[in-house]
Amino acid sequence: MPSGGLYDELQRANKRSTRLLLAGGVVIIAVLIWVIVGILAPEAAFDPVFGVGVTAVGTAIGLLLTFIAYRSGPSIALRASKARPVSRQEAPELHNLLDEVCVSAGISGTKPKLYIVDDPAPNAFATGLNLEDSHIAVTTGLVERLPRYELRAVIAHEVAHIVNDDIRAVTVAVATAGLVALLADVIVRMMWLGGARGGRRSGGGGGGAQVIFLVLGLVALVLAPLAAQLIRFAVSRQREFLADATAAEVLRDPQSMVNALRRIDGDQTSLQRFEVATAHMWFEEPNDTQSPDASKGGNKAAKMARRFATHPSMKERIERLATLNAGTVSTDAPLPPPPSSRTDGPGSGSGSGTGTPPPPAPGSRQPGPPPPGRSSGPPGQGHPPSGPGGLPPFPGR
């Protein structure tokens, strides 16, 4: 299990960064609105009553728009990914896995709604406004390619985002970043339209203030989109580390979390249905940050893509999780066979295909005893499968 001190420090660091980034987002919005006012009416913007009053009103309106975007964010994300609700009758084993995770996380009374995305890439995401209004979507590729315990670990990662209140913070951050980008676009239009009219109205006066705000507008035009991206990335990137650690702690099975990260990292299937605005929500970065051909400058392109990635690399996540669980996980042991390579058919009742990972590396420290109701064994071996064979295919695909 993760070291208590280091794990708690991860939580505190995430809370601090969230507060600072969101507060910074409000300040950026206020500054951009003040610049817009200055472009339209340069002299009035410096007036302590009019300038501050108009900026405050504009900021309040902007925050109201952010709140509206925040409230509609989860439904937009689900529609953008074409996620559909999946009932227990359609996927009983998948619901059983979610039940196990929710019981372990202590939220069995407020279980998130489960969705399926018909996509061959192994991936998943969580969204929502709070614990009572939370949603988890997994792709068909994830269900088909991951053994049971690794699939449970990915679901636990998404539940961790809900328990840690990441879904709310990230939704607010994305809505704020969207407003910042919108204001930057307004500045461009005002510089060409409002600024020119303001210059004609002022005659010979206010020329110095006009120039000042035109320069500020150019600076804001360059920095505002970068600030919007930083707000999104800084919030989502750091929270992936904490969600991995939380999932490993909740399940007391860090090896399956590491195995899931390794298996998904090695899978080259690209996600077919995602929007750039929702890239931060997925378990794995859906944008291409790998270098296909180093001889053609691919390394430089990949480095640039990683700088603007919404997630830390899978290698970083594996290394961080291995550090938190030093001695209990192996990062280079052979992975368990995927469901597609199982030799037992449904109803055979054999133990193959349960997703049991290999024993820990020689000389490694054994994990502590499992909680009541769980079997003891090597890392990654939790509950026995609740049904024969693997997860059934979903009807209607």
Q: Is the confidence at residue 5, as pLDDT, over 70?
A: no
Do 317 and 206 share a structural domain? no
Decide: pTM greater than 0.75.
no
Average pLDDT, the chain: 75
Domain holding 297: CATH number? 3.30.2010.10
Whether the CB-CB separation of 18 and 235 falls below 8 Å is answered with yes
Asked if 296 and 334 sit in the same domain, the reply is yes
Q: Is residue 392 a part of any domain in this protein?
A: no
Q: What token pair was written down for 279?
A: 């890239």
Q: Are residues 153 and 258 in the same domain?
A: yes
d(CA 242, CA 332): 22
Phi, psi of 50 (to 5 degrees): -65, -50
Which residue among 321, 341, 361 closes a domain?
A: 341
* Secondary structure of residue 219 in the 3-state scheme: helix
With contact defined as beta carbons under 8 Å apart, do 328 and 379 qualify? yes
The answer to whether residue 256 sits within a structural domain is: yes
Contact 123, 269 (CB under 8 A): no
Q: Are both 261 and 325 inside the same structural domain?
A: yes
Residue 187: Cβ within 10 Å count: 24
Q: Are residues 172 and 159 in the same domain?
A: no
- Are 195 and 51 in the same domain? yes
Is 145 within 8 Å of 338 (Cβ atoms)?
A: yes
Asked whether the beta carbons of 128 and 77 are under 8 A apart, the reply is: no
Pair 149, 71 in one domain: no
Domain that holds residue 325: 84-165+242-341
* Within a domain: 355: no
- Do 250 and 333 lie in one domain? The reply is yes
Which band of pLDDT confidence, cut at 50, 70 and 90, is reported for residue 207?
low
Number of domains, the chain:
2
Q: What 3-state class would DSSP assign to 309? A: coil
The reply to whether 272 falls in a domain is yes
Question: Among residues 179, 205, 236, which one ends one of the domains?
Answer: 236
112 in a structural domain: yes
Instruction: Tell me if 385 is assigned to some domain.
Output: no
pLDDT for 83: 93
- Asked whether residue 117 falls in the same domain as residue 153, the answer is yes
- Residues 335-377 have pLDDT tens digits of 998 886 444 433 333 333 444 444 544 444 444 444 443 444 4
Q: In terms of domains, do 147 and 256 share one? A: yes
Q: Which of 341, 366, 390 is the last residue of a domain?
A: 341
Q: Give whole-number Cα distances, 196 to 43, 190, 217, in Å.
A: 15, 8, 13
Average pLDDT over residues 176-205: 67
> pLDDT at residue 270 above 80?
yes
Q: What is the pLDDT of residue 90?
A: 92
State the catalytic residues.
158
Q: Has residue 74 been placed in a domain?
A: yes
Q: CA 23, 28, 31 angle in degrees (round to 5)? A: 130
For residue 134, the one-letter residue type is: S
Candidate from 56-70, 109-123, 176-190, 372-386 with smallest mean pLDDT? 372-386
Alpha helices in 164-285 (DSSP H): 166-192, 194-201, 207-251, 254-266
> Are residue 161 and residue 308 in the same domain, yes or no?
yes
Half-sphere exposure of 35 (CA within 13 A, CB side): 28
Contact 304, 111 (CB under 8 A): no
Residue 17 lies in a domain: yes
Reported as a single tens digit per residue, the pLDDT across 44-96 is: 777 777 878 888 888 888 888 888 888 888 888 898 889 999 999 999 999 99
DSSP H helical segments within 41-107, as ranges?
42-45, 50-80, 92-105
* Tokens found for residue 116: 């399926």
The phi, psi pair for 116, rounded to 5°, reads -120, 135
Report DSSP letters for 173-194, one per residue.
Answer: HHHHHHHHHHHHHHHHHHHHTH
> Where do we find the tokens 């209990």?
328
pLDDT (0 to 100) of residue 306:
55
- How much is the pLDDT for 386? 40
CB of 261 closer than 8 Å to CB of 244: yes
Spatial separation of the C-alpha atoms in residues 271 and 155, rounded to whole Å: 18
CA–CA gap between residue 147 and residue 353 (Å, rounded): 7
Instruction: Tell whether 133 and 270 lie within a shared domain.
Output: yes
**Going by DSSP bridges, is the β-strand pair 113-117/134-139 parallel, antiparallel, or unpaired?**
parallel
Say which residues have a Cβ less than 8 Å from residue 173's Cβ, sequence separation at least 6: 18, 21, 22, 25, 231, 232, 235, 236
